[in-house]
């Protein structure tokens, strides 16, 4: 027993600290009523709302939790796929061909410092408040990380490897596909993960501003109706899904990318 305690000391402290915070939270809200439930609902209330929304409750925003998650995911993944399909080849192309780089890099550098959120008004004005404008916004969020990382990855190809390939008579295309891209793959994957993260963040922002469904819309609606329990359920769901998406990509990376460093 003592050994067990000694071995897992820090894990136990972690669990205790977490439980302690929950306990204090519960005490100041439900037991002592020190904080109004309109400002901070109790953990018990949040759990209750979570179960209600999960089991098909549609109040107060007119959709269940799963419907909202699905609405958000569909748009986020749509924009993400477009951003990656354009971003990765662009990054590879810029790193591989000097002429293309000279031409495309200034244009890319104009877009790069602009946060994806700053595109929201323009996109909404041009494409309406439907899914097309949100795909446009998420495209910009995903596209930049995907391009930057692919570019850097290809640029890190060792010159010696290229010389060896050339000496053995490899064509330009072979050098690109057999030497440079495999070298860059870990970086490209990192880019894909960063891109997915920023796509998810941009989606929430876009839904806060203009949407009729989705997690961002759910928390915005809950604010207007004064339902902080729903807001917190939404926030935790958003965080959890973001984490989940990242984990999935990490697993894929470990499986498909050879020689990728962990962490």
Partner 1 sequence: MIDTTSKSRFSIKQLTVIYTIISLLSLLVVWELAARFTSASMFLPPASQVLMAFCRSFVEPIGKHTMLVHLGYSLYRVAVAFAISTVTGIALGVGMGYSRLLEAILKPLFEFIRPIPPLAWIPLSILWFGLGDTGKFFIIFLGCFCFITVNTYDGAKNVDPELMGAARMLGASERQVFFEIVLPSSVPYIFAGLQIAVTAGWSAVVGAEMVQSNEGVGWMIVRGMSTGNTQQIMVGMVAIGIVGFILANLTSALERRLCAWNEQKGV
Positions in the binding site for partner 1 (CB under 8 A) = 9-11, 13-15, 17-18, 21, 38-39, 95-98, 102-107, 110-111, 113-122, 124-126, 152, 154-155, 157, 159, 162, 172, 175-176, 180, 200-201, 204-205, 208-209, 216, 219-220, 222-223, 226, 228, 231-232, 234-236, 238-240, 242-243
CB of 220 to partner 1, least distance (A): 6
Neighbours of 239 (CB within 10 A): 11
Smallest distance, Å, CB 235 to partner 1?
Answer: 5
* 56 vs 132, beta carbon nearer partner 1: 132
For the chain, the maximum distance between any two Cα atoms, rounded to a whole number of angstroms, is: 79
Cα(142)–Cα(258) distance, rounded to whole angstroms?
24
**Closer by beta carbon to partner 1, 15 or else 252:** 15
Cβ-count burial 177-195 (b if 16+ within 10 Å, e if not) = eebbbebbbbbbbbbbbbb
Closer to partner 1 by Cβ: residue 56 or 239: 239
* Nearest distance in Å: CB 257, partner 1: 20
Under DSSP, the state recorded for 179 is I
Q: Please report how close the Cβ of residue 166 comes to partner 1 at its closest, in angstroms.
A: 9
Toward partner 1, which CB reaches closer, 56 or 167?
167
**56 or 62, CB closer to partner 1?**
62
Query: Counting every residue, how long is the chain?
Result: 263
Whether residue 175 contacts residue 154, with contact meaning beta carbons closer than 8 Å, is answered with no
Q: In this structure, what token pair is assigned to residue 129?
A: 């408040």
Residue closer to partner 1 (CB basis): 55 or 125 = 125
CA distance 251 to 249: 5
Do you find a cis peptide bond into 146, omega within 30 degrees of 0? no
Nearest distance from C-beta of residue 102 to partner 1, angstroms? 4
User: Any idea which residue has 């901070």 for tokens?
Assistant: 40
Q: How far is the CB of 128 from partner 1 (least distance, A)?
A: 11
């Amino acid at each position: 027993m003592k050994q067990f305690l000694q071995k897992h000391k820090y894990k136990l402290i972690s669990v205790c600290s977490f439980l302690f915070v929950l306990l204090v939270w519960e005490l100041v809200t439900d037991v002592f009523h020190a904080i109004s439930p309109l400002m901070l609902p109790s953990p018990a209330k949040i759990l209750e709302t979570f179960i209600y929304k999960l089991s098909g409750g549609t109040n107060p925003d007119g959709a269940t939790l799963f419907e909202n998650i699905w609405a958000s995911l569909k748009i986020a993944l749509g924009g993400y796929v477009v951003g990656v399909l354009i971003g990765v080849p662009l990054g590879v192309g810029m790193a591989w061909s000097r002429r293309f780089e000279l031409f495309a890099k200034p244009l890319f550098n104009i877009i790069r410092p602009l946060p994806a959120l700053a595109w929201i008004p323009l996109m909404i004005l041009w494409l309406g408040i439907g899914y097309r404008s949100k795909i446009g916004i998420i495209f910009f969020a995903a596209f930049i990380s995907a391009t930057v990382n692919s570019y850097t990855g290809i640029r890190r190809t060792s010159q010696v490897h290229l010389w060896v390939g050339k000496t053995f008579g490899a064509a330009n295309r072979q050098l690109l596909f057999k030497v440079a891209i495999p070298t860059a793959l870990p970086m490209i994957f990192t880019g894909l993960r960063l891109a997915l993260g920023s796509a998810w963040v941009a989606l929430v922002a876009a839904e806060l501003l203009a949407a009729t469904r989705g997690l961002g819309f759910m928390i915005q609606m809950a604010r207007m109706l004064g339902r902080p329990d729903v807001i917190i359920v939404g926030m935790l769901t958003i965080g959890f899904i973001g984490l989940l998406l990242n984990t999935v990509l990490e697993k894929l990376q470990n499986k498909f990318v050879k020689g990728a460093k962990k962490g």
